[in-house]
Structure 1
Amino acid sequence: MPPSPPPAAPSALRRAAGPLAAALAFGALFLAHAGEPADLVFDETHYVPAARALARLAGDLNWEHPPLGKWLLGLGARLLEALHLASEPAAFRVVAFAFGLWALLSVGGLLRDLGFAGWAAEAAVWLTGLNFLWFVQSRTAMLEPFSAAFALAGLRRVRRGGDGASPWVGWALLGLAMASKWSAAPLCALAALWSPWPLRRRVAGVALAVLAYALPFAPLALLAKDATPLSGIPAYQLKMLEGFSRVDLSTHPYHSRFWQWPTLLRPAWYHFQRVAGGERYVWGGGNPLLFALALPATLWLGLRALSRRASRAERQLALLYWGQLLFWAALPRMQIFYYFYPASLWLGPAVVWALLRLAPARAARPAAVALVAACAALFLWFSPLFDGRLEPPGTYGRYMWTVRWR
């Protein structure tokens, strides 16, 4: 009997089906309550007025952070309103969520680049979307979805290298990530470290990133109030650094340290409102099943990365998680749970990696499907805490499994 032919590579349509299904599912969950609550939540109170002012060239609010994410929020929301597709505050959240979806899909792309099988990368993407924090942070009009989306897309292109335009686009995207929020720095550093280019071309790539970073500052010269001329852009960086250093979160009711994030010891409430007929909640927490599995999985992955037997892909996956978490660990200031957002994107991938190493080959895929289903069930059960929908008074109590979650 002649040998069986090797299985055909999946078509482009098949490769796109899984990510598209995740985008449609999470998009539908978001759109169901995009306008709830009608009030601004958490740090939307800072970023939405700043974005609105920039979009109208009225002034420069919230100058402590770079302007690109606020430009995108403000101009995107104005476009959606002009097309009668959404109104405030949903319009701002739609823009942020679109970039959150881009970041989520880039996670899957990076995992395939690292050698994950298609089904394993898809399972990791679903687990990432179901980890609670990705969904809540992505539907909140803040800057993290923008910086993460640009940084992950740039990292993929820079890591691949090559002689075409794609790596140059990647370097530009890294600059745009930093122009959205400086918290993209760990991913940008990894991109520079992993680039296969020789040093001379890598320096040219960094120069392009710096140029891309500077460009979103140029329109600040057009503002009616608090305008910054082009010559003032370097001084603006020092102003931001000084403003960042002055922020004191030690008195914030949900301040935390980095080790309290993966252990789920200090989540944060984004919104709690008592209204006629009930209450509205937005809770930034974590999927307890996924976080419980991810804690040993990430520790194992980190230890594995330090061993001589580790593959290059394992070391890079470990750095995607630990590099970003340890970045915040190195900063002495108090922080808040949502700072975990970029690192938390790799909890699901770490769990899938551990599953692939522990489970027999035939059992790995069914086990991953079962885990995704269990995390999805928890996500849906907890969902009244995520999107500001109206709930009967006291509903939140059934979800507060420990006093530390309150």
Structure 2
Amino acid sequence: MALAPENRSDPFGWTFLLCAAFMFLCLVRLTIPSSPYFDEVHYLPAARALLDGGEWLNREHPLLGKEILALGIASFGDTALGWRIFPLMCGTLALFAAMRALWFATYSRFASLAYGLLLATGFLLFVHTRIAMLDIFMVAFFAVALWQCAAGLREPETAQWRLALAGIAIGLSMASKWNVLVVAMLPGLAFLGARLAASRRRLLLSKRGIPIAGMSLIQAGFLLGLLPLFVYWLTYIPAYFYDDNILEIGGFIQHHQTMLELQQSLKTPHNYQSNWPDWLLNLRAIWYLYEPVDGAQRGVMLIGNPLTMLLGLPAMAWAVWAGTKRRRWDLIAIVSLFAVSLGMWLFVGKPIQFYYHYFLPSCFLLASLAMALDELWQGGNRWMPLSALAGSLGIFACFYPILSASPLDGVAAFETWTWIEGWR
């Protein structure tokens, strides 16, 4: 944690307004296309099957994301609004929670607000807030977990219930998509590491010392370790009541072995596949949509913001240096989250990977950029941070038509935004 300034002013109101503006932009043409597109064609049938108790579909992914989509269909109808209303809510929640996490980690108004603007205009959050896929639920719940962990460290008197919420959110994040599994261990491991560093003789039972006075290692282990696993299991309860291919009592572990096999079974090369060096340099786009639909040529393109995804790389290098040299634990936390969430893709047995797997790591990359801009801002250099934020906003405005399924001028309109060959 950064040291708390004597006079601090919580930017809660500005955070709320920024999130409201983001939600409004996402609402524009939310129901276009009016038919399922990209991976909605996999997740929506699985959600419908949940509602009618039929066949268990899309078994390679956990159930929670599809349960949330099913709730949207049940509440708002089997229409584009019903499919995408909860992704919209969770995307807005992800932005709010991420900003609150950085606020509690730094107590810097500028860093928190800059981070919100960078995330909102970073493309990945915007695109996934408007489509019925699983990634947005995973990111939203994990952002909530980080928010509650950071707030619990700042306000130890609230740590019990905040870490309980964090544990629940971690479980829900894992139950949305497995991409978060490894990084989800970091909050609990960080607590353990801090207690080991404090050299407490009664390691398991002592409530003294860092990171949270008044909480024992056993309590933290339950809240950040066992509770997430229990919540994760709870999300599978509907699977025990399917009409076809039900989850047998005692078959939970076996089912997860099957999930692993399904995850590793996709080996056919894909035109849009990429890997982590492509992600870092923003070299390969995915066209979620590009066809005549709802009366016009429309497209939805997934890349990262061409400015901030590249600026984030030197910012992350600075965070490594500053975190190590100055013992800035807020920076070390961001670097660790980025390194683990990205590094896992070097080792997982998933042969075909895509740019949307960079969604979670990109959130931490943009956090490092917000921190680097804050360093300049606090040092009296105002024009560089403001220029970077204005540039991010300007490029987002330039790409907005191809991020939001706007009507386009003919089939060759995509050339306006395909600045490099890998984006075609």
- Residue equivalent to 1:84: none
Counterpart amino acid of 1:285? I
Distance 1:157 1:230, change over 3 A: farther
- The aligned residue for residue 194 of structure 2 is none
Is the partner of 2:307 in helix, strand or coil?
Answer: helix
Q: Does 1:49 align with 2:45?
A: yes
| 2:30 corresponds to 1:34 | yes
Distance 1:117 1:276 in 2: 45
Label 1:276 to 1:351 Cα distance change in 2 as closer, same or farther (>3 A).
closer
1:218 matched residue in structure 2:
237
What is the Cα deviation at residue 38 of structure 1?
1.9
1:22 aligns with 2:18: yes
Matching residue's letter, 1:10: S
Trace 1:3-402 onto structure 2 (pairs within 5 A): 9-10=8-9, 15-81=11-77, 88-158=79-149, 160=152, 162=156, 164-195=160-191, 196=211, 198-205=216-223, 206-248=225-267, 250-275=268-293, 278-305=296-323, 307-331=324-348, 333-358=351-376, 361-364=379-382, 367-393=384-410, 394-402=412-420
CA contact (8 A) 2:19 2:92 kept: yes
Between the aligned partners of 1:304 and 1:168, the Cα distance in structure 2 is: 32
Q: Which runs of 5+ in 2 are unaligned?
A: 192-210
- Describe the SS at the equivalent of 2:250: helix
| CA deviation vs aligned residue, 1:110-153 (integer Å, no higher than 9, x gap) | 11122141122111111111011111122121111111111221
- TM-superposed CA distance for 1:223, in Å, is 1.9
Q: Deviations over 1:164-218 (max 9, x none)?
A: 3221221122111111111111331111122345432233231221111100111
Unaligned runs of 5+ in 1: 1-5, 82-86
Task: Supply the distance in 2 between the matched residues of 1:80 and 1:167 (Cα, whole angstroms).
Answer: 33
Provide TM-score, normalisation by structure 2: 0.86
Q: 1:155 to 1:187 in 2, by over 3 A?
A: farther
Aligned residues: 390
Q: TM-score, normalised by structure 1?
A: 0.89
Do 1:277 and 1:392's aligned partners in 2 also have CA atoms closer than 8 Å? no
Cα distance, 1:276 vs. partner? 8.5
SS in 1 for 2:236: helix
CA deviation vs aligned residue, 1:269-315 (integer Å, no higher than 9, x gap)? 1111135864110100121111221122123323444x343311110
Q: Are the aligned partners of 1:280 and 1:390 in contact in 2 as well (CA < 8 Å)?
A: yes
Identity %: 27
8 Å Cα contact 2:115-2:366 kept in structure 1: yes
Q: Tell which deviates more after alignment, 292-301 or 142-151.
A: 292-301
Counterpart CA distance in 1 for 2:368 and 2:416 is 29
The CA deviation at 1:352 is: 2.1
8 Å CA contact 2:111–2:370 kept in 1: the answer is yes
**Residue 362 of structure 1 aligns to a residue in which SS?**
coil
Q: Is the 8 A contact 1:77 1:95 kept in 2?
A: no
Q: Distance in 2 between matches of 1:372 and 1:95?
A: 28
How far, CA to CA, are the matches of 1:318 and 1:102 in structure 2?
Answer: 23
Where 2:251 maps in the other structure, the secondary structure is: helix
Aligned twin of 1:3: none
Give the partner amino acid of 1:238.
Answer: Q
Check the 8 A contact 1:152/1:187 in 2, yes or no. Answer: no
CA distance in 2, matches of 1:42, 1:228: 28
**Deviations along 1:72-99, whole A, 9 cap, x unmatched?**
1111232123xxxxx6123211211211
Pick closer, same or farther for the CA change 1:63–1:21 going to 2, 3 Å.
Answer: same
